[in-house]
Chains A and B, each alone.
Chain A
Amino acid sequence: MKIDEARRYHKIDAVIVGAGLAGLRAALEVAKSGLSAAVITKVYPTRSHSGGAQGGIAAALANVGEDSLEAHMFDTIKGSDYLADQDIIERFVNEALKTVYEFEHMGVPFSRTEDGRINQRPFGGHSAPRACFAQDITGHVLLHTLYEQCLQHNVLFFNEFQVLSLLVKDDVSRGLVAWDIREGGLHIFHARAVLLATGGYGRAWKVTSNAHANTGDGVALVLEAGLPLEDMEFVQFHPTGLYKHGILLSEAARGEGAYIINDKGERFMKIYAAAKMELAPRDIVSRSEQTEINEGRGIHGQDYVYLDLRHLGREKILSRLPQIHDLALNYLKVDAITDPVPIQPTAHYSMGGIPANVRTEVIRDAAGSVVKGLYTAGETSCLSLHGANRLGCNSLQDAATFGRIAGIHMTEFCKKNAFADLPAKPLDAAQAKIDRLWGGGKERHAPIRETLQVNMTKTMGVFRNQDDMLKMLAVIKELQERYQKVGVDDKGQAFNLDLIEALELENLLSFSEVIVEGALARKESRGAHFRSDFPKRNDGEWLRHTLAWRRNGKIVMDFSKAVVIYPQYQPQERKY
């Protein structure tokens, strides 16, 4: 082997793709056991979008009011519109307290009660003040703390690497191939166990709270490897996206008592969720907002409503919600202390993703057969913990808790299993992707992405219907064809942003088709998936998960994966 080849071949026990909360938590667990753990990330770890989570992390500590694990479990089930698997939720709520205390022991600067305990505040869909928070930068401090822990325990970091193909053969994961963004060139990572923790896929929409990095690379890689995706049609729209930008204004604002008002100055949530008002779950608030806008009660008849913080007072806004205040001021020149802030629903969280069992092992069919050595955790996974709609603050808890669980099971797996052989010609698939983009095609990636995002926002938003979705499908087909002719201007090796964006676009086009196909097939309304042509939930036919594969260029679906339901938590009508 030549020196250059050796530099580009890495043999590491556990390779983790993604440096958000789930990835770092898993890496930490593996590294603490003495095995080698490497994190491959396309942005520096502290740039991961877990840091964008503002409001808090859910755990029934009962530091501020009465609370219980059962209440957390029931709220999550009800929030999911009964699509979540209840064995997963059970494990989740049982581990949640440990996760938060562990973070505190690592040094996370949680906001405190007067007696020095972790402070908690109310959050949408939770029946008790359950959100443990650090001002409105909870995700940021959790992410930084975990990164620092990983530095302490000598986790290897491959910063600015883009994964291009998974090396899965005969249902066994063997490693992956990644492009070195900084210097150029392909690297082979040979691993006993691989974790996919690549985050959400919200970048398929124009109006989105997601980072530029959230292009669903993990889900696209899995689809490309011939494995299924689950419940991709369920995408949460956050009710308080900053108008036009889509940037997130935390639900913490409403947790602290902010109102949402329409053009007439009415708190319209009284019509839609009289008991919970603004603190109803996100799917319901977003739908209510969109209804107000559609019926002409948006501000000045336009496509936004107001988030009103004024009555909270200067001191509370600046001490509890400083980031929200800054964002509104910087982006819209609105001072939240004196003026209401224009907001609209924004694509936010991906409930669907890579199917996995409670041990976070990736599964490949409705019967639950596993892919050996392949794991997934965090937003990119679909366990399914959030079902049809996620509750606020459950995402950070999900990523951290199942990140840890993934780390535990990967460690176990690595200790028992040898490195599986690499397939023949491991670089070929990845090399082909690069070569094609450098082949001089005349299409450009930017207009294709723009067309996709604009149409996804138009047709795959809070309200969906068959006609729109059929049109969307046709748009995606056409864009996929155009993509075959894309070439990039930049032919350089080092930091080729042009190349990376083109590669990401291929991923966006790939999984968007699954989202639309899934939403077309699911002829009911449940949680975040609302069809104007089928406005009712239909438990008889659709209390089941969607699995989708790409086979011979076509999306193939399977609806036989049942939802795990405990006798004491049978589906009921969902009212707030």
Chain B
Amino acid sequence: MAKIDINVKILRYQPAKDEKPHWQDFAISVEDESTVLDVLNEIHWQHDGTLAYRRSCRSSICGSCAMKVNGRNVLACETPIHRFGTKLKIEPLSGFEILKDLVVDLEPFFAKLKRIRPYLILDKPLPDKEFVQSPQQLEQIGESTLCILCAACSAACPSSWPNSDYLGPAALLKAYRFVFDSRDDGADQRLEIVNDKNGVWRCHTIFNCMEACPKKIKITEYLSRLKVKVVENSL
């Protein structure tokens, strides 16, 4: 372990005094094994207390600290700085309103999630014990349940940027997760919601979401399966 000097460029925006976001440079010295989150903590704790960002679990499961580092959407907590050399450029996720510094407004993101009815819809009576679901049936949705709702995918989606009404990859992935759950009976309702120009059809298989996903979920592939399902359902 050794200390290294790095240069960090952060896109700052303080709503009380800034008219628009601007870049600020910090020259600091950190452990070479630091993560991007360690760097932000160091700046916040030792250099500038006014810096705002979200973080919590530190172990890439809570999804708080998604941000853009050197042009890529990453989770700050799991991203070692050695990936970038000694120059870091940190900015908030694109496509969302900035509330302050690296903190963006996620209310629309979560509201979209609610729209696709993200819960099991059942017509059948509940069994005494569990529903029977084979490992093969579970396999269909297994990877999609890894989603931590960090919003890195939606923030990377060129179709999302100009269309604030587009449901976006995260909500659509959630729709996939329930439509393809062998226990669910609500596929018709959900497919009707996503069968819209602002639903699944706004996805043009650009693959940015997949590249941005810190959980390496094959989002684009699942969205394609969802499209096929919508077409099958409407034929």
Interface residues of chain A, those whose CB is within 8 Å of chain B, are: 43-44, 46-49, 51-52, 61, 100-101, 104-107, 109-118, 134-135, 137, 140-141, 144-145, 148-149, 151-152, 182, 209, 211-213, 244-245, 247-248, 323, 326-327, 330-331, 333, 444, 446, 488-490, 492-498
Contact = CB atoms under 8 A, between A and B. Distances in A.
A549 B101 CA distance: 41
B216 to A, nearest CB: 9
Contacts of B146: 137, 140
Contact of B145 (A51, A105, A134, A326): A134
Interface of B: 14-16, 33, 35, 44-46, 48-64, 78-80, 99-101, 103, 106, 110, 113-114, 117-120, 122, 126, 128-135, 137-138, 141-142, 145-146, 148-149, 178, 181, 183-184
A435 to B, nearest CB: 17
25 contacts: A44-B64, A46-B63, A46-B149, A47-B63, A49-B57, A51-B57, A52-B59, A106-B120, A109-B141, A111-B138, A112-B133, A112-B135, A116-B135, A137-B146, A140-B61, A140-B146, A182-B99, A211-B56, A211-B57, A244-B33, A248-B59, A333-B80, A446-B44, A489-B48, A495-B99
B15 A148 contact: no
A492 B44 contact: no
B148 A140 contact: yes
Contact of B64 (A47, A107, A117, A495): A47
Given A105-B120, A137-B61, A496-B52, 17 more contacts: A48-B62, A49-B56, A101-B129, A101-B130, A105-B130, A106-B120, A107-B181, A109-B142, A109-B145, A112-B134, A113-B135, A118-B130, A152-B119, A330-B60, A444-B45, A494-B100, A497-B44
A52 B57 contact: yes
A492 B61 contact: no
Closest 6 CB pairs of A and B: A489-B49, A107-B120, A446-B45, A116-B132, A498-B49, A47-B62
Nearest to B14: A492
B58 A211 contact: yes
Contacts of B181: 107, 109
A330 B56 contact: no
A496 B62 CA distance: 20
B4 to A, nearest CB: 16
Contacts, number: 160
Nearest to A333: B80
Contacts of A105: 120, 122, 126, 130-131
B62 A117 contact: no
B49 A488 contact: yes
A145 B147 CA distance: 12
Contacts of B138: 109, 111-112
